[in-house]
Structure formats: C-alpha cells, structure tokens
Amino acid sequence: MILALFVGAMILNYLARSVLGVAAPVILAEQSISTQQYSWITGAFQIGVMLQPLAGYLLDGTGLRIGFWLCATIWSLVTMAHVFAGGWVSFAALRGLLGLAEGSAQPAGQKLVAEWFPARERGAAGGIYNIGASFGAVLAPPLVAWAVAVQSWRLAFVVTGLLGLVWSLAWLRWYNAPQRHTGLSDAERTHILAGQEVALAADTERPSILALLRRRNLWGIALPRLLADPAWGMLSFWMPLYLVRVRHFDLTQLAIFAWLPFLAADLGCLFGPAVAAFLGRRGVSLVNARRGAFTLGAVMMTGMALVGTVTSPYAAIALLCLGGFAHQTLSVTVITMASDLFRRNEVATAAGLAGLAGNLGVLVFSLVLGRMVDVVGYGPFFILLGGLDLAGAILLWTLVRKPA
C-alpha cells in the first residue's frame, strides 16, 4: 500500500514536469518563444531541482509525512499557476519554483525505500516507484492533445495540479513511518527490521552536507548521475520538439508515438532491479550486482547515438525507446544505491546531493543544446548521450566502496 501510494506521487510529479515539454511546440509558437529562450525555461527548472539537497535535508529533519505533503502541495499549486504565464520570463520563474518543490521526489523515494524495505527488496521497490516517473511522462502527450482539442494547453496544467492536490490529502491521511503506522502487522514490522543493515541504522546526529561531500561513495553515485540524467532531460523536454521540427510530427502523431519511449522506460525500471537480483542469486554482492546492472544499461545506451542517423521516423522512435529502456535500467540502479551506502537518517540528503549532480548534467546539456541545435542539429547530442554512461560505469566501479 505504501509503495502504491508513492507510485501515485511519482506519476503526478513527472506528469507535472512533462506537460510543458509536450505542449512546447504550441506554446513556443503562441508566445513567440525562441529555442534558446526555451532552453532557459528548462534550465530554470533544472536549477530548482538542483536544490534537492535542501529538500532531502528537510525530509530527514521533519520526516516524510509532513515534509513530502508540503512539497507535493506546493508543486501542485505552482503547476496550476502556469495558466497565467505569458512570455519566457514568467515561464522560467514558474519552472524554477516547480523544480524546487518537485526535487523532493527522489530523496523522498529513497528515504521511503530505506525505511520500509529490507535491503534485498530495495532494488525492486525503487524500480517500481520509478515506473511512476515514466508513466507520468506517458500520460502527458495524450493529456496535452486532449486539452488543446477541448480548450487549450492551459487546461492540462489545471488538471495536473488538481490531481496533485487530491493526492497530497491522501498522503497526509494514509502515510506514516513503519514505527508509527497503525496498519502494519508485527510480522511485517519484524520482516522489515530483520532485513536492514546494522551499519546503516540511523544515529542521533543531523546529517551534515559537508561531511557527506567528503565521502567517496557520494561522488561514486553522483558523478554517474551527472552523466546519465541528460538522457532523461532529452526525452522529457526536447524529444517533442525534435519530433515536430526534424521528423515533422503533428500533435496527433505526438499523442500516438511520444509516450512510447516512456513505456519502454517503465520496463527498464523493472529490468535493472531484475538484473541485480539475478546476479545476487549467483553470489554477487549487493553493491557489485547494482554496478553490473548499471554497466549493462550503459552498453545498451550506445544505441541512442544512432537516433539522428536513421532516415525513418519510426526507426528513430524505436531507438528512442531503446534509450528510455536503457536509461531507466541504469538510472533506478544508481538511485537505489543511496539506500545501500548511507545511514537511514542521511539517505534523503545523500540522494538529494546525487540528484543535484544529475540535474546539473541536465542543465548544462539543455543550455548547450538550446544554444547550438539550430546550427549543428540534434545529431551530435544523440551521439554524446550514447557514450556518457560508459564513462559513468567506469566511475561507479572505481569510486564506490562497499560499506563496512
């Protein structure tokens, strides 16, 4: 029940951030926003999300129930406020606020998985809740197409925000920590506690961001995310524009095809943990099993380099689907490692710091893409995405050390 509740949060979180990307062709034309200005809008969102360490620190300090309820309420209200935007500056301001609130999702997910699941079940739990991220992006294209047909792109933001407010009330009603949840049986509570690593139990100290930054394990998961997350930024914010401007899709074709890479990403959310579990059953340690799953995803990710070279738009969609599948295979794996390497009272802060690195990668990638795409096209950027994760795999194997 707890996992299903959080999957709902991830669906709405990524639906809220994906609506703009799908509606971008309509909004940019209506509001005379240039490609470079659009990169500033997406960059503002990434700057907001980069403050994930603050969200993680809030969640570690206040607890998930109140802290995440507050964040979800704020991002829902900001989503609805997009209906009043006019021009790139107002869009950028709203996206920055949205990113600040939505940046709480991954730290919250890692804290929830660390508290509610034994070590061997965390990979599967992390993969399942990350399906919500992909499924939210799946819903965005048909929602925007429906909104434009019924009224305008603004309706999509209103519907998404209202759904978020309803969910936040459900969270406040039904969520609590395992120690205080009245619906948890003694057998379930014992199962959870028996599978937790003693070395990662919470201590009485508040997490120190400076102390975490001095640990090589933090950099071991943060740097691979820096290199991996631009692929998700491409799919979420730039793929609709690419399909419209390069592959000449219309809004109906976007509604039919643009969700497919995210459906493939859903399967990747399950495949990565399945690979790690397969390796674990054959005697591979938990950390090495996660690294093996990441490496396999990085190898598959090289297919993304061919997106710009194929002539058929349907072949391009197929390669984008491979990219979505490969990215989530490796992404959910490295995200889950925060709960394998850090204490329960610091896992949200550590996940937030790793998320900062990931979103910094998206920010830099988006700004460079927005500045250069009209000159060099999308091809070089797809080639870059195809190779970054191989470097990330090398860093993951080199820097991360198993906890004592």
Q: What is the DSSP string of 65-128?
A: HHHHHHHHHHHHHHHHHGGG--SHHHHHHHHHHHHHHHTTHHHHHHHHHHHHS-GGGHHHHHHH
Asked if 349 and 212 count as a contact pair (C-beta separation under 8 A), the reply is: yes
pLDDT at site 271: 95
Q: What angle do CA 371, 374, 380 make, to 5 degrees?
A: 80
In angstroms, the Cα distances linking 60 to 205, 217, 234 are 11, 19, 31
Give me the amino acid identity at 289: A
Q: What ranges make up the beta strands (E) of 160-227?
A: none
**Residue 197 confidence (pLDDT):** 66
Q: Which pLDDT belongs to residue 206? A: 67
Give the angle 311-317-319 at the CA atoms, nearest 5°: 85
- Inter-helix orientation angle 313-341/286-301, to 10°: 160
Query: CB within 8 A of 282, min separation 6: which ones?
Result: none
Tens digit of pLDDT at every position of the chain (404 positions): 999 999 999 999 989 988 998 899 899 999 999 999 999 999 999 899 888 888 888 888 888 999 999 999 999 999 999 999 999 999 999 999 999 999 899 889 988 988 898 877 888 888 888 888 878 888 888 998 899 888 899 999 999 999 999 999 999 999 998 888 888 888 888 888 776 666 565 565 666 788 899 999 999 999 999 999 999 989 988 998 999 999 999 888 988 898 899 999 989 999 999 999 999 999 999 899 999 999 999 999 999 999 999 999 999 999 999 999 999 999 999 998 988 888 877 888 888 899 899 989 998 998 899 889 989 999 999 999 999 999 999 999 999 998 76
CA torsion through residues 284, 288, 294, 296, sign: negative
pLDDT value, residue 316:
96
Sign of CA dihedral 41, 376, 298, 310: positive
Nearest to 13 by CA among 85, 108, 84, 153: 108
Which letter does DSSP use for residue 344 in this model? Answer: T
8-state DSSP, 282: T
Q: Pick from 47, 99, 108: which is nearest to 349 by CA?
A: 108
The tokens of 158 are what? 């209103």
Q: Could you give the dihedral angle defined by the CA atoms of residues 107, 113, 115 and 117, in that order, rounded to the nearest 10 degrees?
A: -170
